[in-house]
Structure 1
């Protein structure tokens, strides 16, 4: 009887260990996804800043041309 309980425990333990491994892998993948998104956001911010500077420059040049 005890042997059956031990085997059941070991089986459940093995399943839980596999589940933990899967969750850790998923956690790592989510972190990688998050890092990629942060890089994309930074790239977009830089592009936005450049576009705003270019627009300001165009406005300044337009004002100079009107005068």
Structure 2
């Protein structure tokens, strides 16, 4: 009986950890996608220039 409860508890903990890991990976993927979009927007708008390029333009 005691072993059965221990196994059930460990299964629940493993599921909880697995779900947390999946959520974290989804959040990371979302952040990476947002970052790529931001960088693309900055390049398109001309905001991604280096300091030398800005000095030349001014």
TM-score range, shorter chain: 0.7 to 0.9
Matching residue within 43, 50, 59 for 2:30: 50
Structure richer in helix, relative to its length: 1
* Corresponding residue for residue 65 of structure 1: 45
CA RMSD of aligned residues (A): 1.2
Runs of 4+ deviating beyond 3 Å: none
Q: Which has the higher contact order (CA 8 A, sep 6+)?
A: 2
Taking structure 1 as the reference length, the TM-score comes to 0.67
